[in-house]
Chains A and B, each alone.
Chain A
């Protein structure tokens, strides 16, 4: 058994909330630079240059790259040999509160979806917990903006609709969203499981490093084919037209019922912000 102190959780979450919002990850920056090289639309090139310049300003000046500093999503993995004697969800939310106050981040959470009163500290976070082996805690902290999240969906297809049905749904979703989710986007596709599992798969998919590939051969081919097709849509950076609509497509799969083909599409804007740490 290894005891993990509450203060470490609070301080780590605070730090990662701020870092995620100020410092674009290197893999995203590299993908944006590749997009700039490949874009043929002059407006698209101009937009991508502004995005890259913006992300460098944010990093150098220690300011948020986007004003939508998001709702905090936490993937919490707890080793079965970890001992904690406090409410870890409370500790995480304290870290979020501190991060959003000390980091001058926008408070974008309302207490109720219908009465819409701001909680004024960006809590609560959305926390997904997994039990793993070992004596460590893994934390993945994501700041997810609503512009791209609002363009996401879950749909229950039938097995007969198959891979073509999946592709059509992704293409239609990305095309109809146009500039709303701040392209170039990352598309997270969750296939299989159940209604709620597919959404979680899609969310986990957008958290993957931009350059990795699915270990599953069918998913890997789908990632490549969909990226090609999406970049033929003409949507381009911020929807102003161009060839660079998506930076990557990530497909995560899970077994499912003989009668089901759950499909979840989670859209991530170009300001892909998440940080991972092991405690």
Chain B
């Protein structure tokens, strides 16, 4: 399914865990250090460096671009490290997150409550994924290097819906499907 950003209620309502999506539009990068700063700003009632309303944050710290490249390799980092911050951002209007690995229950509950979606990308497919990133602009926290916040223009960025607004969880459901239980429990 092809989807565009910013995410609308209609788009989010259509997305179900397990759906393969191709994302086109603007997405923002942020990982550990940037999340800490964003949440601190929210707690201090200060403005964020970009409007997170209806946007998607991609958990990534790219490699430096080689001459001729728009961006270096740019695959997802592990999402659980952002679990302590994600509910605050969702409460303030963020609607999508892209990363790898499962989320904790608090984040899953917030995804349902605030009608958002968690997308999984293929960890370690960084050279492949970077081909869908067409434009990069550093918008905040340059001092953080790879962890700075960047505005990305993406075309057909490949991802899977992991957690949807209906409480479905691709990771839990699919692992159950392929688990071989040969022990007496």
A residues at B contact (CB < 8 Å): 40-41, 43-44, 46-47, 50-51, 53-55, 57-58, 61, 63-69, 104-108, 116, 118, 120, 146-147, 150, 178-182, 232-236, 238-243, 269-271
Contact sample, A vs B, 16 pairs, CB 8 Å cutoff: A41-B177, A46-B20, A50-B158, A54-B127, A58-B127, A66-B123, A67-B61, A104-B64, A120-B145, A178-B102, A180-B100, A233-B175, A234-B180, A235-B175, A240-B174, A270-B124
Asked, given contacts A54-B126, A106-B63, whether A241 binds B73 with beta carbons under 8 Å apart, the answer is no
In the complex, A50 Cα to B77 Cα: how many Å?
16
Please tell me if the beta carbons of A179 and B123 are within 8 angstroms of each other in the complex: yes
Residues in A whose Cβ lies below 8 Å from that of B72 = 63-64, 67, 104, 106
Residues in A whose Cβ lies below 8 Å from that of B80 = 180
Residues in A whose Cβ lies below 8 Å from that of B175 = 178, 233-236, 239, 241
In the complex, A118 Cα to B145 Cα: how many Å?
8
A178 → B minimal CB distance (Å): 5
Given contacts A67-B126, A234-B174, 12 further A-B contacts (CB under 8 A): A46-B20, A54-B122, A54-B124, A65-B126, A67-B61, A104-B72, A106-B72, A178-B102, A181-B78, A239-B102, A241-B171, A269-B124
Work out how many contacts link A and B, with CB atoms closer than 8 A. Answer: 161
Residues in B whose Cβ lies below 8 Å from that of A180 = 78, 80, 100-102
B122 → A minimal CB distance (Å): 5
In the complex, A269 Cα to B120 Cα: how many Å?
17
**Taking CB as reference atom, which chain B residue is nearest A237?**
B122
Residues in B whose Cβ lies below 8 Å from that of A236 = 174-175, 178
Residues in A whose Cβ lies below 8 Å from that of B65 = 104
Residues in A whose Cβ lies below 8 Å from that of B62 = 67, 106
Please tell me if the beta carbons of B171 and A239 are within 8 angstroms of each other in the complex: yes
Please tell me if the beta carbons of A57 and B128 are within 8 angstroms of each other in the complex: yes
Residues in A whose Cβ lies below 8 Å from that of B52 = none
Please tell me if the beta carbons of B160 and A43 are within 8 angstroms of each other in the complex: yes
B residues at A contact (CB < 8 Å): 18, 20, 33, 60-66, 69, 72-75, 77-78, 80, 100-102, 120, 122-131, 144-146, 158, 160, 170-171, 173-180, 182
Residues in A whose Cβ lies below 8 Å from that of B160 = 43, 240
Residues in B whose Cβ lies below 8 Å from that of A67 = 60-63, 72-75, 77, 126, 146
Q: Report which of B122, B123, B126, B173 forms a contact with A64, defined as CB distance below 8 A.
A: B126
Please tell me if the beta carbons of B124 and A51 are within 8 angstroms of each other in the complex: yes
Residues in A whose Cβ lies below 8 Å from that of B158 = 50
**Taking CB as reference atom, which chain B residue is nearest A179?**
B101
B60 → A minimal CB distance (Å): 6
Please tell me if the beta carbons of A54 and B145 are within 8 angstroms of each other in the complex: no
In the complex, A55 Cα to B180 Cα: how many Å?
30
B154 → A minimal CB distance (Å): 15
Please tell me if the beta carbons of A107 and B145 are within 8 angstroms of each other in the complex: yes
Please tell me if the beta carbons of B101 and A64 are within 8 angstroms of each other in the complex: no
**Taking CB as reference atom, which chain B residue is nearest A107?**
B145
B18 → A minimal CB distance (Å): 8
Residues in A whose Cβ lies below 8 Å from that of B61 = 67-68, 106, 108
In the complex, A90 Cα to B61 Cα: how many Å?
27
Residues in A whose Cβ lies below 8 Å from that of B63 = 63-64, 67, 69, 104-106
- Which 8 residue pairs are nearest across A and B when measured between Cβ atoms? A241-B174, A234-B179, A180-B101, A234-B178, A232-B180, A54-B128, A182-B123, A54-B125
